[in-house]
Structure 1
Amino acid sequence: MPMIMAQESEKYPLHRCIFQGDVKTLNILIRTRDITEKDKQGNTPLHLAVMLGRKECVQLLLAHGASVKVKNLAGWSPLAEAISYGDRQTISSLLRKLKQQAREQMEERRPNLVAALHQMGDFYMELKWDFQSWVPLVSRVLPSDICKIHKSGASIRMDTTLVDFNDMRWERGDISFIFNGDQKPSHSLTVLDNKAKLFQRVRYEETELEIEDEVDILMSSDIMAAQMSTKSITFSRAQTGWIFREDKREMVGAFHADFYQINGMVLESRKRREHLSEEDLQKNKAIMESLTKGSSQGFKNGEPPMRRASLNPPPESNITWDEYVVAPPGQCPLLGRNLVYKESSKSFKATVAMSPDFPLTVDMLLNVLEVITPFKHLSKLRQFVLMKLPPGFPVKIDIPILPTVTAKITFQEFAFRNDIDPELFQVPSDYFEDPMRGYGAYLTMMMVLHTASCARG
Structure 2
Amino acid sequence: MSARRPYLVKALEKIEDFYMELKWDFQSWVPLVSRILPSDICKIYKKGSSIRLDTTLLDFNDMKWERGDISFVFNGHHIHHKIGAGNNNNSPLVVMDNKLKVYQLMTQQETEIEFEEEVDLLMSSDVIVAQMSTKDVQFIRSQSGWIFREDKREMVGPFQADVYLVQGITLESQKRREHLSEEDLVKNKEALVETFTKPSSSSFDLNGMQEEYKRRESLQPPPKPQVSWEEYINSPAGCPPHLNRPLQSKCSSKAFKATLAMSEEFPMTVEMLLNILEVVTPFKHLKKLREFVTMKLPPGFPVKIEIPILPTITAKITFQEFAFRDNLPDEYFQIPPDYTEKSNRFPDL
Match of 1:264 among 142, 165, 168: 168
Of stretches 106-115 and 144-153 in structure 1, the one that deviates more from structure 2 is 106-115
Which residue does the alignment assign to 1:154? 49
1:117 and 2:12 are equivalent in the alignment = yes
1:15-164 alignment runs, 5 A limit: 106-164=1-59
Q: Hey, what's the Cα distance between the residues in 2 that align with 1:139 and 1:335?
A: 42
Q: In structure 2, what residue type is equivalent to 1:315?
A: K
Distance 1:314 1:356, change over 3 A: farther
Which residue does the alignment assign to 1:306? 215
Which residue does the alignment assign to 2:179? 275
Which residue does the alignment assign to 1:361? 269
Q: CA deviation at 1:434?
A: 3.5
Which structure 2 segments of 5+ residues have no match? 80-87, 192-203
Which residue does the alignment assign to 2:287? 379
Which residue does the alignment assign to 1:172? 67
Match of 1:349 among 257, 261, 282: 257
What's the TM-score, normalizing by structure 1? 0.64
Q: CA deviation at 1:353?
A: 0.7
The answer to whether the Cα contact below 8 Å between 2:232 and 2:240 also exists between their aligned partners in 1 is: no
What's the TM-score, normalizing by structure 2? 0.83
Q: Hey, what's the Cα distance between the residues in 2 that align with 1:140 and 1:349?
A: 22
Q: In structure 2, what residue type is equivalent to 1:347?
A: A
Using the aligned pairs only, state the percent identity: 62
Q: In structure 1, what residue type is equivalent to 2:124?
A: S
CA-based RMSD of the aligned residues comes to 2.8
The answer to whether the Cα contact below 8 Å between 1:213 and 1:296 also exists between their aligned partners in 2 is: no
1:292-441 alignment runs, 5 A limit: 297=213, 306-316=215-225, 317-318=227-228, 319-325=231-237, 327=238, 333-434=241-342, 437-439=344-346
Q: In structure 2, what residue type is equivalent to 1:357?
A: E
Distance 1:108 1:333, change over 3 A: farther
Match of 1:207 among 90, 101, 111: 111
Q: Hey, what's the Cα distance between the residues in 2 that align with 1:259 and 1:284?
A: 42
Which residue does the alignment assign to 2:93? 189
Q: CA deviation at 1:425?
A: 0.8
Q: CA deviation at 1:199?
A: 2.3
Which residue does the alignment assign to 1:32? none
Q: In structure 1, what residue type is equivalent to 2:100?
A: A
Once the two structures are superposed, what CA deviation does each residue of 1:363-419 show, in whole Å capped at 9, x if it has no partner?
221221122122211111111112221122111000112333211000111122221
Q: In structure 1, what residue type is equivalent to 2:103?
A: F
Q: Hey, what's the Cα distance between the residues in 2 that align with 1:141 and 1:284?
A: 20
Match of 2:123 among 194, 219, 225: 219
The answer to whether the Cα contact below 8 Å between 1:219 and 1:308 also exists between their aligned partners in 2 is: no
| SS class of match (1:112) | helix
The answer to whether the Cα contact below 8 Å between 1:155 and 1:180 also exists between their aligned partners in 2 is: yes
Match of 2:143 among 221, 239, 243: 239
Of stretches 211-220 and 257-266 in structure 1, the one that deviates more from structure 2 is 211-220
| SS class of match (1:323) | coil
| SS class of match (1:107) | coil
Structure with higher strand content:
2
Q: Hey, what's the Cα distance between the residues in 2 that align with 1:231 and 1:334?
A: 31
Q: Hey, what's the Cα distance between the residues in 2 that align with 1:314 and 1:356?
A: 61
**Count of residues in Structure 1 that have an aligned counterpart in Structure 2:** 323
Q: Hey, what's the Cα distance between the residues in 2 that align with 1:283 and 1:117?
A: 48
Which structure 1 segments of 5+ residues have no match? 1-105, 298-304, 448-457
Distance 1:133 1:203, change over 3 A: same
Q: Hey, what's the Cα distance between the residues in 2 that align with 1:199 and 1:365?
A: 26
Q: Hey, what's the Cα distance between the residues in 1 that align with 2:41 and 2:150?
A: 32
Q: Hey, what's the Cα distance between the residues in 2 that align with 1:120 and 1:107?
A: 21
Q: Hey, what's the Cα distance between the residues in 1 that align with 2:124 and 2:3?
A: 33
Distance 1:157 1:262, change over 3 A: same
Structure with higher helix content:
1
Q: In structure 2, what residue type is equivalent to 1:420?
A: L
The answer to whether the Cα contact below 8 Å between 2:26 and 2:39 also exists between their aligned partners in 1 is: yes
Q: CA deviation at 1:296?
A: 9.0
Distance 1:209 1:338, change over 3 A: same
Q: Hey, what's the Cα distance between the residues in 2 that align with 1:140 and 1:310?
A: 38
**Greater RCO (Cα-Cα under 8 Å, separation 6 or more):** 2
Q: In structure 2, what residue type is equivalent to 1:406?
A: T
Distance 1:115 1:218, change over 3 A: farther
